[in-house]
Amino acid sequence: MTGRELGPAGPGGPSGVPLRQFLLKIHSRCNLSCDYCYVYFAADQSWREQPVVMSLDTVRRAADRIVEHALEHRLPSVRVILHGGEPLLVGRKHLSELLAVLRERLDPVTRFHCSLQTNGTLLTPGVLELLLDHRVEVTVSLDGPPAAHDRHRRFADGRPSHAQVAAALGLLGRPGYRDLFVGLLCVVDLANDPVETYEALLDFAPPRVDFLLPHGTWRHPPPGLEDRTAPPRHPPDPEGRHERIPYAQWLIPVFDRWFDAPRRETSVRMFEELMSGLFGDPVNAEAFGLTPHDLVVVESDGTLEDSDSLKVVAPGAPATGLDVFRNSFSEALSTDTMRRRQSGAHGLGQVCRDCAFTTVCGGGLYSHRHHPATGFANPSVYCADLAALIAHMRRRMNESLVRPL
């Protein structure tokens, strides 16, 4: 039985889609001090109590739990995401040992994909050789050209990081390592020029680009949306006529630049998944659509958490009270958060359920819906922007269907 064959569950209902993605926080600290980082600067400060490095004992236990889950649900494949903090701070030796543990336990049971999300500052040829040996795919955070990237992504002593990241990307782009390069993660900053940002990412020939919206909630709206403090009572005007839509106005020129390129230059995940939704197909992105959530976070001490982005909601918001030493991953499927995130449109508030874009937008990222009074039963704090972006994309797609070839 595969994940998609199990019925999704509503809050309070039976547990649903098995987990297939396991995010291991193998190092809880970072060598950068990015001022927008949800791990260190958000409401939840639990990282302070976490061990710095995930021990091999914890890795073994997590791997055994993944095996147990894969066998229980007959999963043909699983993905392990090595994350932090900055995961490469564990050092080459520990990384080598933990990858060996994962391979040794998971390979006999299921197809095991492993990826690493890094800030890029510690990607050396030695590390890349190790990642190559273990077929670990690499995603690097890059926010655009030097000035854009270094506005937020600096070392704790204030030094900029762009030059180091660019050098690492040069290395990752070399023929021997190129296959490991999965893509770039770019956090949107309204202060940066959108097309210039996108073109700076293209300079590194990434196979894929993911644009991420800065985290925020209705209580703590993201930069530029400080006036958005009350969730709407009605679905938005798709043309964005009644609201400021700065994030749509940032993303639309990027979409047009990408969409109008005579040859496709890279995959832009946000746009491709929204287009898939506009064609009536599944949207495979955590931030959009109604595909059930299938990821769990294992902190460096082995505790299980729901998505990391919930750290922006409140202290303890991502906590499940479970850990890999005492609990199976199937138990993590029973938390209210997980059930709601696996229940498709039923897990949304009424406004989103009444919206013309429900199946495409899916209410936006779960944590972005939060309001202290109404919990998560709200549209995203980005609602008006998302609707305007999706409406624009739909218009462009419809035009493309009828324009002369």
Where do we find the tokens 């406004």?
351
Q: What residue 37 binds from another protein, ligand SF4, none (CB within 5 to 8 A, per partner kind)?
A: another protein
Q: How far apart are CA 25 and CA 298, in angstroms?
A: 6
Q: How far apart are CA 182 and CA 315, in angstroms?
A: 32
Per CB under 8 A, the list member of 53, 95, 180, 275 interacting with another protein is 275
First to last CA, the chain: 44
**Residues contacting ligand SF4: total by CB under 6 A:** 15
| Smaller CB separation from another protein, 117 or 217 | 117
Q: Report the nearest approach of ligand SF4 to the CB of residue 357 (Å).
A: 5
Q: How far apart are CA 345 and CA 311, in angstroms?
A: 24
Instruction: Scan residues 80-99 and list those touching another protein (CB under 8 A).
Output: 81, 83-84, 86
Q: How far apart are CA 383 and CA 161, in angstroms?
A: 33
Per CB under 6 A, the list member of 363, 365, 370, 392 interacting with ligand SF4 is 363
Per CB under 8 A, the list member of 9, 16, 26, 38 interacting with another protein is 38
Q: Report the nearest approach of ligand SF4 to the CB of residue 355 (Å).
A: 3
Q: How far apart are CA 18 and CA 318, in angstroms?
A: 19
Return the sign of the alpha-carbon dihedral for residues 316, 87, 185, 151: positive
Where do we find the tokens 């800030």?
119
Q: How far apart are CA 83 and CA 105, in angstroms?
A: 20
Tokens of 116: 């690493």
As a dihedral over the C-alpha atoms of residue 364, residue 366, residue 371, residue 372, rounded to 10 degrees, the angle is: 180
Write the interaction track for another protein spanning residues 2-31; mark x where CB under 8 A is met and - where it is not.
Answer: xxx---------------xx-x------x-
**Which region among 126-134, 156-164, 307-315, 322-330 touches another protein (by CB under 8 A)?**
307-315
Question: Which of 85, 80, 87 is CA-nearest to residue 101?
Answer: 80
Q: Report the nearest approach of another protein to the CB of residue 327 (Å).
A: 21
Instruction: Scan residues 212-251 and list those touching ligand SF4 (CB under 6 A).
Output: 235-236
Q: Is 141 in the site for another protein (CB under 8 A)?
A: yes
**Which region among 38-46, 138-146, 161-169, 360-368 touches ligand SF4 (by CB under 6 A)?**
360-368
Per CB under 8 A, the list member of 107, 132, 279, 374 interacting with another protein is 279
Write the interaction track for another protein spanning residues 226-245; mark x where CB under 8 A is met and - where it is not.
Answer: --------------------
| 368, 384 Cβ separation under 8 angstroms | no
Q: Is 364 in the site for ligand SF4 (CB under 6 A)?
A: yes
Q: Is 347 in the site for ligand SF4 (CB under 6 A)?
A: no
Question: Which of 386, 396, 353, 367 is CA-nearest to residue 237?
Answer: 386
Q: Which residues of the chain form contacts with ligand SF4 (CB under 6 A)?
A: 235-236, 351-352, 355, 357-358, 361, 363-364, 379-380, 383, 386-387
